[in-house]
Structure 1
Amino acid sequence: MASYLLKRLGLSLAILITAVLALFSLIYVVPGDPATIALGPRATAEQKAVFRERMGLDQPLPVQAMRFVSQLAQGDLGTDILTKRPVLDLVSAALPRTVVLAVVGLGWAILLGVPLGVWSALRPDGWTDRLIGIFSTSVIALPSFLVAIYALVVFAVMLGWLPAIGAGEAGDPADQARRLILPAFAIGVGWVGYMARLVRAAMLETLSENHVRTFRAFGVSDLRIALRFALPIAMVPVVAVLGVGMGSLLSGAVLVEVVFARPGLGSLAHDAVMSRNFPVLLGTVVVTTALYVVANLVADVIAALLDPRIRQEA
């Protein structure tokens, strides 16, 4: 297991460095002059030149990239060109809200999607299986930002059941929880159907194997077989997909945060794009990429713990 973990750590580090360099290059070819945005349209050419020199924007792109990687290794994400605050402080303040939103959204989707998948696998081709299949396919096709808009209009504006925008008052967990319901619902509803279909397929494959037939021959109930033997095996591909799908989950969280005006990484990145605030944009993108890499690493490790064959193959 230690050898497998070291290999995964090395691969994750290589992926992160490559992604950071690629994203750095892409961000700095976006149209827009940070000097003009920071100093205003009335700034002289000399003032802009001094600003670019102080920020290192007058250097070639490879030099800027290597300097950024060097600073990143020391925990420095740069400085906000508008507020002059460290980007690390801005990202650190926004990161917990985005992580909580993603975890809660994915958590309720798993709690609902996995039982639906197990129920469908135990009664394949029945009327409940067909209903769950129709529901699953329907919600998978719904974009998270569209669900967010309709949830905002229906439950916050028309019915007035839940608050519309914001993340809640600091120090008031009840208010924060109420304002988390709609965003978490918006990013998690598509994953309910995805989890249900994935668990159903994995369970049907496992339930058709010879050792399951042996259990049935000895009188073991289908429910016990499903929960005790089939479900742990079926969760291996589910865990792997969750790691890969973290990218789409985070991108959905970005859009949902903008819709509900939640002060998270999504709103921070959106404001940085609109103002061409490249250091803040790059900092949020780097942190989001790191979250994605870490999520994949954790998913791989959990899958290896659930299935020893993965460790042996590695």
Structure 2
Amino acid sequence: MAVNQVGRDIVDVSVLKSTSQSVVSISLMEAKTKNPISHPAAIEPHIRALLPSLTPSEKRVARAILAAYPIAALGTIAELSERAGASAPTILRLTTKLGFEGYSHFQKVVQEEIQQKMQSPLSLLESAPRMPPARRGFLGGFFDDLVEALQKTNSLLQPSVLDEAIDLLADPSRKVYAIGGRSSHVLAKYLVFHLHLLRPQVQEIANSSVPVYHQAADLGRGALVVAFDFRRYERQTIEFCQHAAKRGAKLILMTDPWLSPIAELAQIVLPVEVDVPSPFDSSIVAMAVVEACLAGALARLDDTARARMAKLDELTGRDKVIGAETVGGGTRPKPSKQGAT
């Protein structure tokens, strides 16, 4: 299946391989359901979650799919059978266990997943109406969709996974680096600005006098990288995370439900809903999760964070009233009244 070229800074997801564990919020109970999968984003983690319950021959098929996903899932049953060293009935049994109605249904959902990953604002605008229905007027309808996106994200995120992310962010022994893409860099900046108020050693990775790739050179096992990468995933962000992982840094990834390729490297993956009636993916839900992480970090750091915030307030002079007579520790003389001698 051919995937359109989307530019040198965008990763062609059809040639990406999944070879390492992705930490995702899908339970084993959900993986065992007999109901057909409704969300194409669930396929790869769904297979991983089901692995422990599969027979040896089914595991061979599952691992063959995962080792060359999604390419291996787009061939014929005969091709997958040869790749996995398993029979066609075994493949059909696996697709049934995964909740699909057959191999063709499985392939259709894989194709939909690839399509969703490659969506651009223009293609979203042209593929379907992107305006909220007038249930409560334009603004009311749009807000309804945002609430629905928040609810979907709440079902995607496991509390234990979010707690683990917060624990890492609040660990003062780790230096935190945040990186985003062309639009998601706003999330990285927001995280860095506010986390820096709570604890030291927080830095944004961004284009500056030092190239982004060079900024990965000093990362080590004590580093924590928080990456924001959403569909039409960006090569620079992915490659930075690859360098960071090679140097032993821990990775937290916030991404869309279709999962950035960085999910293969990350210890923690936080999938958030981005789809709203607009040609642009929404960052509102992602920002809400960032703010939840900040609130959690504050709760864990408690007095340490309060002391740091007080120190920063003192340094910046924010405890002083603008326009007061006393400025910078000195006394500013009052202006003389007009006509005074």
Q: TM-score, normalised by structure 2?
A: 0.26
- Name whichever structure is richer in strand by fraction: 2
- Name whichever structure is richer in helix by fraction: 1
